[in-house]
Structure 1
Amino acid sequence: MSSIVSQIGDLAEAGERMIERLRRKAFLPDSRKSLSVRIGIADAARLLGCSTNRIRMAEEDGRLPSPPASDTGRRLGYTLEDMLHMRQILGASPQRSPEDVPAIIAVQNFKGGVGKSTVTTHLAHYFAMQGYRVLVVDCDSQATTTTLFGFNPQFNVTRDDTLYAYLSIDPTQTDLSYAIKKTPWPNVDLIPSNLELFDIEYELAAGGSDGQSVLAARFHKLKQGLAALACDYDVVLLDPPPALGTISLAVMQAANALLVPLAATTPDFCSTIQFLSMTDQVLRQLEGVGITLDYSFVRLICSKFDSNDPSHTMIRAIMEQTFGPALLPVPILESAEISHAALRMMTIYELARPIGSTKTHKRCRANLDESLGQIEQLVRQHWGRVTPAREEDVLQTHV
């Protein structure tokens, strides 16, 4: 083995050991990620779209249990399990009806560094906070999303835990149910990934060299497998590789909606244009062989936007002129709070308390709720529904 190869291998091993150390430090005491978020009654009422008085009345008449109290008698707030139970009791569940088609959203861009996995994970947790049933499918062999959910791709995930066992040339599984992992979020499941998933790219490329029949079959197979799983969920989020490969193409065919995150920089803007052009060419070729796509929506979302940076403001204006209504109006703001949470392998929605200032945390959380809420609205519009009005707002309009 050459010295260069050995050196790169040593660097990789050192990095893997450090990731495991960070993971163990973040997830003490048992090295397993847990969810410690408690939701106060005011925030619970906002999420449920009702008044705090309605919640208290339900607790008083025994329909809902009261949250536990601290030694000083202060209410500790509700867990996410409590919130899901409250939604059922109070009739505040946003879940789709059996007639509604589950949203299967590919979060895709071939440009790295746009926050694709961060957007995917935050979006999953946002939907979970709103009461939806969510499945996240990590289709990227870099496995960033898997890591953010508390799994170490090197030590906790085998190749047979990933899509590989289902999509490989010689599959060992006939459906995708084997790959579903529970996460700390009671209404979010994960199909994880690791580096070995990349083997599919080699296998399918080799198999597809003979008339493309193997490729076409695998494209259809992933769509079929995800459609079968989706019946148990409201939203399925797909995180494909940041490259135009066979897995990315299979994901784009399996999805019924497309979300493209891009940062407000010139390189990201130019790269996204190339992504859209390349995707257009490839999809036209796929349609020529009978592989078609049908999306309920295609939207771009500006991620990592710094409103104090004039260059970001200029590039965002160019995006608006270029993409028009396809660009979601509320960008995801650059925030130290997101970076601090990521260092702990968490999202903003998992933080029990602010890492930085309370003001920064509240601003970041409010922005994420508004920005990601745009995608929720698109999903609900496709179901022929809008987000239910808050009880207090309805009462005020009749006063």
Structure 2
Amino acid sequence: MAKSVTKRSEVEIVSQLAVSGERMIERLRRKSFLPERRKELHLRFGIAEVAAMLGCSTNRIRQAEEDGRLPSPAFDEAGRRLGYDVAAMLRMREVLGASPRRADGDEPAIIAVQNFKGGVGKSTVTTHLAHYLAIQGYRVLVVDCDSQATTTTLFGFNPHFDVERDQTLYPYLSIDPTQADLLYAVQPTPWPNVDLIPSCLELFDVEYELAAAGSDGQNVLAARFRKLKQGLRDLARSYDVVILDPPPALGTISLAVMQAANALIVPLAATTPDFCSTVQFLSMMDQVLAQLEQAGISVDYGFVRLLCSRHDTSNPSESMVIRIMEEAFGASLLPVAVLDSAEISHASLRMMTVFELNKPIGTARTHKRCKQNLEEALGQVEQLLRRGWHRAHPALEDLADVA
């Protein structure tokens, strides 16, 4: 008798832990996003930094400000420039002809950041890639397809309080859909050129519904696969890049994402378990893609690359795993790994990416090293995109070369 009482009380603890955890998330959010509890972007770039990103001289920027093509810069009381925010930099790209946007005839990139193993940095790669591309001037849509909603949280939304099921993919993918396209779900973010389709726990209802579809289940699944692909392609016309963050499991939504994408990035950490599980993922994916083809669902990728998403260079065992990955995957493994850094962890604690930090959280040296590494690692993906549009930078071609 005593055993059953103990069992019930332990089960009740699960609910208590969930409530307590949700309260803590809200406290962290309030602390991070004061005063209005909404995430804001406070990034400022100096004129030399902006000139380097645009590939022009500072004199060209000053000249455009003097002749009225660009607004006059703001100054502080000491007469120093306050710097340019992201919106100002995007305008500068347009005026000075330095926008990297795809041409009208170029196909938008729809990238799935996918691995069936959790803890490989999938959401970290997704959000940092989105913000990196935003700084470069691309129009980006991020679609959080994971009911755990980590990416949604990193964009400043609390999935427990701010996001309802009808704001996710659910009304579009459910058995009884209430939406004919995905425009209803697109939310602005603090970044002027990045939008988000958020997620929340109730998105998982799609998995339940489709699993219970009965004898006609295969036809329903195939219809949903085609529907997500079409919906994303329709939305992608307004963007350069769409980044999909699917669940870390082989489920209905993951399969739908797999066939809706036209490019694939597989993140994995530099550990033996991650390497082994990723090999299993690739093997399983190979089988699934073959089955999709047999079912008449076409899948085609402009590129498939693996990205080491976490590597501690001071750890000899991880360096050995990197060498194993290089031998196994060849040129399909992007050569520059994302290095393990306290700055990424510090930013995540504040529900931010390193690219959103206006100043270092740790030491200036750590921040600079981390940001440079992220720019180099994610720049490899940018080169793959640009090469698909036949505009890759010749000096960086080798970073994205095909085996």
Q: Under a length normalisation based on structure 2, what TM-score does the superposition of the two structures give?
A: 0.95
Aligned Cα root-mean-square deviation (Å): 1.4
Q: 2:400 — aligned with what? A: none
DSSP 3-state at the match of 2:392: coil
Residues paired across the two proteins, number: 390
Alignment of 1:322-333 (within 5 A): 322-333=328-339
Q: 1:354 — aligned with what? A: 360
**Is residue 2:320 matched to residue 1:306?**
no
Q: 1:374 — aligned with what? A: 380
Instruction: Indicate if the aligned counterparts of 1:208 and 1:214 stay in contact, CA closer than 8 A.
Output: no
Q: Which of residues 114, 120, 132 in structure 1 aligns to 2:138?
A: 132
**Is residue 2:153 matched to residue 1:147?**
yes
Q: Report how far residue 246 of structure 1 moved.
A: 0.4
Alignment of 1:54-133 (within 5 A): 54-133=60-139
Alignment of 1:131-280 (within 5 A): 131-207=137-213, 209-210=215-216, 212-280=218-286
Instruction: Indicate if the aligned counterparts of 1:159 and 1:197 stay in contact, CA closer than 8 A.
Output: yes
**Is residue 2:30 matched to residue 1:24?**
yes
Q: Report how far residue 212 of structure 1 moved.
A: 0.4
DSSP 3-state at the match of 2:311: coil
Q: Distance in 2 between matches of 1:280 and 1:292?
A: 13
Q: Report how far residue 210 of structure 1 moved.
A: 2.5
Q: Under a length normalisation based on structure 1, what TM-score does the superposition of the two structures give?
A: 0.96
Q: 2:299 — aligned with what? A: 293
Instruction: Indicate if the aligned counterparts of 1:49 and 1:388 stay in contact, CA closer than 8 A.
Output: no
Instruction: Indicate if the aligned counterparts of 1:95 and 1:133 stay in contact, CA closer than 8 A.
Output: yes
Q: Report how far residue 67 of structure 1 moved.
A: 2.3
Instruction: Indicate if the aligned counterparts of 2:65 and 2:73 stay in contact, CA closer than 8 A.
Output: no
Q: 2:392 — aligned with what? A: 386
Q: Which amino acid aligns with 2:29?
A: R
Query: What does the per-residue CA deviation read over 1:48-75, in whole Å, with 9 as the maximum and x for residues that have no partner?
Result: 1111121122122222123211122221
Instruction: Indicate if the aligned counterparts of 2:313 and 2:319 stay in contact, CA closer than 8 A.
Output: yes
Q: Distance in 2 between matches of 1:245 and 1:209?
A: 18
Q: Which amino acid aligns with 2:225?
A: F
Q: Report how far residue 76 of structure 1 moved.
A: 1.0
C-alpha distance 208-56 of structure 1, shift in aligned 2 (>3 A):
farther
Please identify, of 213-222 and 378-387, the stretch whose mean Cα deviation from structure 2 is larger: 378-387
C-alpha distance 211-184 of structure 1, shift in aligned 2 (>3 A):
closer
Q: Report how far residue 254 of structure 1 moved.
A: 0.6
DSSP 3-state at the match of 1:72: coil
C-alpha distance 388-326 of structure 1, shift in aligned 2 (>3 A):
closer
Q: Report how far residue 208 of structure 1 moved.
A: 5.9
Q: Which amino acid aligns with 2:364?
A: T
C-alpha distance 388-31 of structure 1, shift in aligned 2 (>3 A):
farther
Instruction: Indicate if the aligned counterparts of 2:313 and 2:339 stay in contact, CA closer than 8 A.
Output: yes
Instruction: Indicate if the aligned counterparts of 1:116 and 1:261 stay in contact, CA closer than 8 A.
Output: yes
Q: Distance in 2 between matches of 1:146 and 1:318?
A: 34
Q: 1:3 — aligned with what? A: 9
Instruction: Indicate if the aligned counterparts of 2:73 and 2:81 stay in contact, CA closer than 8 A.
Output: yes
Instruction: Indicate if the aligned counterparts of 1:208 and 1:215 stay in contact, CA closer than 8 A.
Output: no
Instruction: Indicate if the aligned counterparts of 1:159 and 1:194 stay in contact, CA closer than 8 A.
Output: yes
C-alpha distance 186-208 of structure 1, shift in aligned 2 (>3 A):
farther
Q: Distance in 1 between matches of 2:103 and 2:199?
A: 30
Q: 2:401 — aligned with what? A: none
Q: Distance in 1 between matches of 2:209 and 2:345?
A: 37
DSSP 3-state at the match of 1:136: strand
Instruction: Indicate if the aligned counterparts of 2:139 and 2:193 stay in contact, CA closer than 8 A.
Output: yes
Q: Which of residues 53, 56, 77 in structure 2 aligns to 1:47?
A: 53
C-alpha distance 42-388 of structure 1, shift in aligned 2 (>3 A):
farther
Q: Report how far residue 124 of structure 1 moved.
A: 0.2
Q: Distance in 2 between matches of 1:289 and 1:253?
A: 12
Query: What does the per-residue CA deviation read over 1:309-337, in whole Å, with 9 as the maximum and x for residues that have no partner?
Result: 11111000000000000000000011111
C-alpha distance 366-41 of structure 1, shift in aligned 2 (>3 A):
same
Q: Distance in 2 between matches of 1:18 and 1:65?
A: 43
